[in-house]
Amino acid sequence: MGMIPGIEASSSALDVERTRLDVIAGNLANAQNTSDANGQVYRRKMVVFESKLNNALGADANMGSQVQVARIIDDPTPLPKVYLPGNPKSDAKGMVEMPNVNPLDEMVDMMTATRSYQANLQVISAGRSMFEQSLKIAE
């Protein structure tokens, strides 16, 4: 157990939510990108979380879990086709595949990530306040 109880879990969550925000920012930036590094249409990226047990030094018992990013995967939903006959990437019918990024979904995800980030900051703050209070025992 560290000096501040629960700090490993909360700080891992801060990392993870930060990664999610980065991915969302990437999605929004590439929302109209029909040609990425490989020449493919950009596919929306999603972050998958998983929990990892806290193995504190010298303790075998379960002490709660941290969270980490398992992988960043491509969103498998089909790419929408838009009618853009003048576009160099349009096919025979003039349809172009666009990235499957919906800005509204991304904004909702961003709010969720921000809220989680703030909640975890609050946990760390509560833990630190508990620690400071315990120092008063030996005033």
Residues within window 2-31 making contact with another protein, judged by CB under 8 A: 2-3, 5-7, 9-10, 12-13
One-letter amino acid at 100 equals N
3-class secondary-structure state, position 69? strand
Q: Pick from 35, 40, 55, 112 the residue near another protein by CB under 8 A.
A: 112
Which segment (30-38, 77-85, 87-95, 111-119) binds another protein by CB under 8 A?
111-119
DSSP string covering 76-134: -SPPPEEE-TTSTT--TTSEEE-----HHHHHHHHHHHHHHHHHHHHHHHHHHHHHHHH
Q: What angle do CA 30, 12, 117 make, to 5 degrees?
A: 60
Does 114 participate in binding another protein (rule CB under 8 A)?
no
Name the β-bridge partners of 67.
Answer: 51
The interface with another protein within residues 45-64 (CB under 8 A) comprises 48-51, 54, 56-59, 61-64
Chain residues that interact with another protein, rule: CB under 8 A: 1-3, 5-7, 9-10, 12-13, 48-51, 54, 56-59, 61-67, 112, 116, 119-120, 122-123, 126-127, 129-131, 133-139
